[in-house]
Amino acid sequence: MAEPRRAREWALALSLALSLGCRNTPDAGALLQLTVVPEDRDADVWIDGNYVGRVADLQGTASGPMKLAPGAHRVEVRKSGRFPVQRTVQVGAGRESSVAVDVELLEDPQ
């Protein structure tokens, strides 16, 4: 009987440690602010090669802006029929700040 209890205790301790280590700290990172023309709000956003959602979702009040950890990040905005736009942003450590990315998706003539 002691084995299952010990396993549960380890699982609880591990989940607590992970949740404390992954919390959002107000003094680290930056909020990503994307600016696009209204007709491109349905464009897809990728950060460091990972899909994170659509521009409208990231600008919406429900989810709010995305927070980036300190360091360099590649922000890419893609939309069918348009050329993708890539920007590299540098987020400093320390106090919270914001990173603004203005995106102009040019029409692909093909």
Overall average pLDDT of the 75-88 stretch: 90
Flag whether pLDDT at 10 surpasses 90. no
Asked whether residue 4 is domain-assigned, the answer is no
Pairing of strands 66-68, 30-35: antiparallel
For residue 87, the enclosing domain spans 25-102
Asked whether residue 39 is domain-assigned, the answer is yes
Asked whether residue 18 is domain-assigned, the answer is no
Asked whether residue 109 is domain-assigned, the answer is no
Flag whether pLDDT at 2 surpasses 50. yes
Asked whether residue 6 is domain-assigned, the answer is no
Q: What is the CATH number of the domain that holds 80?
A: 2.60.40
**How does residue 100 score in pLDDT terms, banded at 50, 70 and 90?**
confident
pLDDT digits (tens, 9 = 90+) for 52-67: 988 888 876 555 677 8
Q: How many domains does the chain have?
A: 1
pLDDT digits (tens, 9 = 90+) for 17-39: 444 444 444 546 888 887 888 88
Asked whether residue 49 is domain-assigned, the answer is yes
Asked whether residue 83 is domain-assigned, the answer is yes
Flag whether pLDDT at 11 surpasses 50. yes
Asked whether residue 108 is domain-assigned, the answer is no
Cα(88)–Cα(47) distance, rounded to whole angstroms? 10
Q: What is the pLDDT of residue 17?
A: 46
